[in-house]
């Protein structure tokens, strides 16, 4: 974010911002910056992401929102926001959210001392890399209807079933799963939250190729997979409580507005270099610039909501329906930005050029030109792939229709 966008900095906040900027200048290599700027979805290049996580870990900044006793930073909400803003503007690649931003919080609240001692330090180092096993072929938005079963066998649970749309299952060595341990009349009961080692016999991963050609999502099959009961998070049959707590962080555990602001600013700059419908710069086209201005206003609204949520979470409060609001706003704003970016990219944005980007997974069945030719600029190739990937934004982390139902019930009292 530009300096004028963060107003009213105190002297200590300004000093902190300079510390962050100095750190980024010294540690962000050109390759890492390239990975951040050429990301085509919410997931950056895996190797670059893990390399950056290790650099941040050594500084003590890999998981700043964690409680200090687990390796986090005693930052104010304003400092968290400054850090996120500066990382985005510098082009730092993102970190995978599955461990640090999601399951780690559930482990802190529901995990045993042994589970906390084992998993939390290894999540920070990347030795343990989690994926999320929630959705099933017949259980997506209605997550409580999940069917993957786990049968009691002494000290173990025997797991059979499958999960789908499992991001980075091909990279992960652990998966956190919701499994059915008891059949009851109430679907939310009888579900258990289970941590499963992906190297256990009987686990098989198959790729799902997205419309962008990338392999980021996967199917995961479990054939009589034996999992120790010691890997249950919380209580057997009470996994729904753990899952609901975790979803608060999946849907609203970070600030998306800094990244959206940077993307909007970059789009405005590119529009000045592109031809509009009348032959002049696209930045002088009233219809295009009106749509961009509307998006910038909506991003400012999200900005305010996220700062309030960060303040609440930092005080130990439940963000409640604010998480659902943030998920709706951030995903739909991102979709609208990619739509506008694709318009600005023009004919080059319609060309399929994944070799000009750094996607979050292997691009399947694509052979790049032998000479590496790229038509147009890399940002135009990113616009194409990001547009395709962003279509899923209103579905993942709980569809936006479900989020609106949550808000209607919990905030407005509607049934």
List residues with catalytic annotation.
250
Smallest CA-to-CA distance from 106 within 70, 81, 58, 149 is with 70
Tokens of 147: 């069917």
Tokens of 143: 């997550």
Q: How far apart are CA 266 and CA 271, in angstroms?
A: 9
Smallest CA-to-CA distance from 201 within 182, 221, 171 is with 221
Instruction: Please name the residues in contact with 268: beta carbons below 8 A apart, sequence gap of 6 or more.
Output: 283, 292
């Amino acid at each position: 974010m530009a300096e004028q966008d963060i107003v009213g900095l105190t002297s200590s906040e300004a000093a902190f911002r300079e510390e962050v900027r100095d750190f980024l200048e010294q540690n962000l290599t050109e390759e890492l910056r390239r990975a951040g700027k050429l990301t085509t979805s919410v997931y950056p290049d895996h190797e670059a992401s893990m390399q950056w996580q290790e650099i941040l870990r050594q500084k003590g900044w890999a998981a700043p929102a964690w409680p200090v006793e687990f390796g986090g930073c005693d930052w104010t909400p304003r400092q968290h926001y400054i850090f996120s803003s500066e990382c985005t503007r510098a082009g730092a690649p993102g970190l995978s959210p599955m461990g640090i931003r999601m399951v780690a919080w559930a482990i802190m609240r529901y995990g045993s001392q042994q589970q906390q001692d084992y998993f939390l330090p290894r999540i920070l180092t990347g030795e343990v890399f989690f994926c999320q096993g929630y959705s099933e072929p017949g259980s997506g938005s209605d997550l409580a209807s999940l069917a993957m079963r786990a049968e009691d066998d002494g000290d173990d649970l025997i797991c059979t079933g499958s999960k789908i749309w499992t991001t980075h299952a091909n990279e992960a060595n652990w998966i956190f799963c919701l499994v059915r341990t008891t059949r009851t009349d109430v679907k939310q009961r009888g579900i258990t939250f289970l941590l499963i080692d992906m190297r256990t016999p009987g686990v098989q991963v198959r790729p799902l190729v997205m419309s962008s050609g990338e392999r980021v999502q996967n199917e995961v099959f479990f054939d009589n997979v034996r999992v120790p009961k010691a890997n249950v998070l919380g209580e057997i049959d009470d996994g729904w409580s753990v899952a609901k707590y975790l979803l608060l962080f999946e849907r609203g555990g970070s600030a998306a507005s800094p990244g959206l602001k940077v993307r909007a600013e970059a789009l405005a700059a590119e529009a000045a270099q592109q031809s509009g419908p009348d032959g002049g710069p696209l930045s002088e086209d009233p219809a295009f610039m009106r749509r961009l201005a509307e998006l910038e206003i909506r991003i400012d609204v999200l900005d305010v909501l996220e700062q309030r949520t960060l303040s609440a979470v930092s005080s130990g409060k439940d963000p409640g329906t604010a998480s659902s609001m943030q998920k709706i706003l951030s995903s739909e704003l991102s979709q609208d930005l990619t739509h506008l970016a694709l318009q600005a990219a023009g004919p080059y944005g319609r060309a399929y050029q994944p070799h000009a980007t750094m996607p979050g997974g292997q691009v399947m069945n694509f052979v790049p030109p032998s000479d590496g030719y790229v038509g147009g600029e890399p940002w135009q190739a990113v616009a194409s792939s990001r547009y395709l990937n962003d279509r899923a934004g209103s579905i993942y982390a709980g569809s936006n229709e479900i989020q609106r139902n949550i808000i209607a019930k919990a905030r407005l009292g509607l049934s």
